[in-house]
């Protein structure tokens, strides 16, 4: 039988204001982090997650690339569990760019301290000859739910 252990949401923005700091070309930006907490989870743990990032392409003179990476744990023990990307088209007709993602992390080893941390980074890469700013519109959010089998 499957048991829900915890569910959390990290919302950086609901989409009503421009977000700061803006992206630095090619530098990962932490935009979400959740700590899922539980006791006696059972032998098999799995996490399902989803999120959204929105940015404007109206200032871009050439296409850019947006990459999302989800890591389990913190610091030097971080482990990449998900990576996805999309091309951001430099055309006001295609702006804003809304990137939604869904993923999972299976057979997660139970953490000793009873907390499973996921950190989400967004990296935006664009032509450095054309500076851009104020492109993070939001919403930016990340949802994670951890399950176990009894």
Give domain status of residue 12, yes or no: yes
CATH of the domain at 94: 2.60.120
Give domain status of residue 111, yes or no: yes
Domain count, the chain: 1
Give domain status of residue 147, yes or no: no
Phi–psi pair at 66, nearest 5 degrees: -110, 125
Structure tokens at 8: 């959390």
> What distances in angstroms separate CA 130 from CA 35, 60, 62, one per listed residue?
38, 7, 8
Give domain status of residue 150, yes or no: no
Give domain status of residue 122, yes or no: yes
Q: How many CB atoms lie within 10 A of CB 109?
A: 10
Residues of the domain holding 66? 2-36+43-135
Give domain status of residue 9, yes or no: yes
CA 28 to chain centre: 11
Report d(CA 84, CA 102) in Å as an integer. Answer: 10
Give domain status of residue 25, yes or no: yes
Per-residue pLDDT of the chain (150 residues; tens, 9 = 90+): 789 999 999 987 777 777 777 888 999 999 999 999 998 887 789 999 999 999 887 778 889 999 999 999 998 889 999 999 999 988 888 888 899 999 999 999 888 889 999 999 999 998 888 777 768 888 899 999 999 986
Give domain status of residue 6, yes or no: yes
Rg (C-alpha) for the chain, rounded Å, is 17
The pLDDT of residue 86 is 94
Report d(CA 71, CA 77) in Å as an integer. Answer: 10
């Amino acid at each position: 039988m499957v048991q829900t252990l915890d569910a959390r949401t990290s919302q950086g923005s609901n989409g009503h204001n421009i977000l700061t700091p803006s992206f630095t070309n090619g530098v990962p930006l932490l935009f979400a982090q959740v700590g899922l907490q539980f006791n006696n989870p059972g032998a098999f743990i799995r996490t399902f997650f989803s999120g959204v990032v929105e940015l404007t392409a109206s200032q871009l003179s050439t296409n850019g690339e947006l990459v999302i990476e989800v890591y389990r744990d913190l610091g030097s023990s971080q482990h990449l569990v998900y990576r996805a990307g999309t091309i951001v088209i430099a055309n006001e007709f295609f702006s804003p760019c809304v990137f939604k993602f869904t993923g999972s992390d299976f057979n997660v080893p139970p953490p000793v301290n009873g907390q499973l941390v996921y950190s989400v980074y967004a990296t935006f890469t664009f032509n450095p000859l054309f500076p851009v700013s104020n492109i993070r519109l939001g919403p930016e959010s990340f949802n994670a739910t951890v399950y176990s089998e009894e």
